[in-house]
Amino acid sequence: MSVNAYSEGKQKIEWVISHMPILNNIDNKLKEERSFKNVKIGMALHLEAKTAYLSIALKNGGADIRITSCNPLSSDDSVIKSLHEDYGVSVYGKKGESDTEYWEYLHNILDFSPDIIIDDGADLISLLHREYTHLIHDTKGANEETTTGIVRLKAMEKKRELKIPVIDVNDASMKHLFDNRYGTGQSTFDGIFSATNLTIAGSTFVVAGYGWCGRGIAMRAKGLGAEVVVTEIDPVKAIEARMDGFSVMPMKKAVGVADFIVTATGCKDVVSKKDLLNCKNGAVLANAGHFNKEVSLKDLDAVSKSHRTVRRYVDEYVLENGKKLYLLGEGRLINLVAGQGHPAEIMDMSFSLQALSAKYLLNEKLKSKIYPVPAKIDRYVAMLKLKSMGIKIDHLTKEQKLYLSEWDEGT
């Protein structure tokens, strides 16, 4: 038997490559066609193994890549090392980088004048519009990976401040229906388990926000045996949560019963001063949204007498009323801080959409606005996913197609 001579980072990257068959297929095509020859791609995505593979596939397609993370705490240092040493990708970042370093790395990406930007959360696109306006004219466009990024970009578009074409990868069916729901549903618990080693069964588990991420978390919490409570601001989503079998109540009431509170709203101050003071003693707080603003850290500091780290990624806060609260991962997205991010087969779909959308950006003449991922790309990824799962589906007959195209054959 041969001795394993691979570095930890390379092992992780090779593992995901062998579990991302859709991107394998696209990788081969990009390589064959040299689709990104002489194209500079600047990327700011959570820098872990699946993301590393996306950058490798784009590089295999001929692109010149610079990549950094989109979050100071989500990087995997072993992957960064391997990406640089084994795959020759220009990579910036480290787990636990300071805010100054975070922005310095984003500047490094734009200093390279990328033709295409691949962003997660829109910090890179926002920096382009604030400090690199001289590059805007030559930027072909950007892809945005996540809900929070799309919310920010829509605000830019509405104010007529968006100056490049953007592909909204987040809202492709093959992205949000799987990545946001099943990806977040699974990886949030990966993070909570490894940070706390506590039991979900028998607990009261509060999920703030019933978007696709919140749905996934609530579904998995229920499967693990928790009593699940959902908080919402949208009446329709609140009804959906109730009819999916969850209790629905305002946060101020939910904090009184919660053993765990996980935020997934994309908004700020979802758990704020009064809520914190009214939490049950010993409650665990975590965030699955993009930014660390959902649990108000300012308020948590303000109502606390002291805090200390009691486990890796678990900070114990002693409140002025004597209660103890446990904040996971400094309030940053727990699935990547303490977990390994979404599973490979999920990111396979999201990052296949990213690669194909980047190619689309390159080959089309687009206006400065937000575009959906073309339906053809979404369906293509769906077809490859079905194939990878060994699933065959039915097809319409000619008569059925005709039937569906007519309106007068009621009975």
**Which H or E run includes 358?**
helix 344-363
- Among positions 109, 195, 347, 361, the unique one binding ligand ADE when judged by CB under 6 A: 347
Q: How far is the CB of 179 from ligand ADE (least distance, A)?
A: 7
What is the nearest approach in angstroms of ligand ADE to the Cβ of residue 171? 14
CB-count exposure of residue 160 (10 Å: 0-12, 13-18, 19+) = exposed
Q: Under a CB-based contact definition with an 8 Å cutoff, are residues 252 and 275 in contact?
A: yes
Residue 51 engages ligand ADE in binding (rule: CB under 6 A): yes
User: CA-CA distance, 336 to 22, in Å (whole number)?
Assistant: 23
Among residues 276 and 288, whose Cβ is nearest to ligand ADE?
288
The reply to whether 378 sits near ligand ADE by the rule CB under 6 A is no
120 binds ligand ADE (CB under 6 A): yes
Q: Which residue has the tokens 């993009």?
A: 290
Q: How far is the CB of 242 from ligand ADE (least distance, A)?
A: 28
Stretch that binds ligand ADE, among 5-13, 80-88, 156-164, 333-341 (CB under 6 A): 333-341
Q: Under the criterion CB under 6 A, does residue 181 sit at the interface with ligand ADE?
A: no
Based on the shown chain and the rule CB under 6 A, indicate whether residue 91 belongs to the binding site for ligand ADE: no
Q: Is 95 in the site for ligand ADE (CB under 6 A)?
A: no
Where does residue 5 rank: exposed (0-12), middle (13-18), buried (19+ CB within 10 A)? exposed
Q: Is 79 in the site for ligand ADE (CB under 6 A)?
A: no
Contacting residue, 27, 48, 97, 294, with ligand ADE by CB under 6 A: 48
- Report 8-47 residues binding ligand ADE (CB under 6 A): 45-46
Residue from the set 148, 188, 292, 335 that interacts with ligand ADE by CB under 6 A = 335
Cα separation, 402 vs 17, in Å, equals 43
Judged by CB under 6 A, which stretch of 23-31, 224-232, 269-277, 336-344 contacts ligand ADE? 336-344
DSSP codes of every residue in 52-66:
HHHHHHHHHTT-EEE
Distance from the first to the final alpha carbon of the chain:
70
Stretch that binds ligand ADE, among 9-17, 20-28, 135-143, 341-349 (CB under 6 A): 341-349
Q: Which stretch binds ligand ADE (CB under 6 A): 147-155, 335-343, 358-366, 395-403?
A: 335-343
Between CA 267 and CA 287 the distance in angstroms is 11
Q: Closest residue to ligand ADE, Cβ-based?
A: 341
Say whether residue 336 binds ligand ADE (CB under 6 A). Answer: yes
Q: What single letter denotes the amino acid at residue 296?
A: S
Interface residue with ligand ADE, options 145, 168, 275, 294 (CB under 6 A): 145
Angle, helix 184-196 to helix 212-223, in steps of 10 degrees: 60
Shortest distance (Å) from residue 401 CB to ligand ADE: 38
| Tokens found for residue 124 | 């890179």
Told to check if 175 binds ligand ADE by CB under 6 A, we report: no
Report d(CA 122, CA 126) in Å as an integer. 6
CB of 23 to ligand ADE, least distance (A): 12
337 contributes a contact to ligand ADE by CB under 6 A: no
Contacts of 188 (CB under 8 A, 6+ apart): 216, 217, 220, 262, 264, 286, 288, 334, 335, 339
Q: Any idea what DSSP says for residue 373?
A: P
State the nearest-atom distance from the C-beta of 79 to ligand ADE, in Å: 11
Determine, following the binding rule CB under 6 A, whether residue 341 of this chain makes contact with ligand ADE.
Answer: yes
Determine, following the binding rule CB under 6 A, whether residue 106 of this chain makes contact with ligand ADE: no
Tokens of 284: 């665990």
Q: How far is CA 214 from CA 207, 220, 263, in A?
A: 6, 10, 8
Our CB check for ligand ADE shows the closer of 179 and 378 to be 179
Bridge partner list, 365: none
Q: Is 271 in the site for ligand ADE (CB under 6 A)?
A: no
Pull the structure tokens for residue 160: 């007529």
Q: Cα–Cα distance between 252 and 267 in angstroms, integer?
A: 16
Q: Name which position in 50, 59, 95, 332 contacts ligand ADE (CB under 6 A).
A: 50
Query: In 3-state terms, what secondary structure has residue 87?
Result: coil
Number of residues that bind ligand ADE (CB under 6 A): 15
Question: Tokens 């339906």 sit at which residue?
Answer: 375
Q: Please report, as ranges, the residues that interact with ligand ADE according to CB under 6 A.
A: 45-46, 48, 50-51, 120, 145-146, 183, 187, 335-336, 341-342, 347
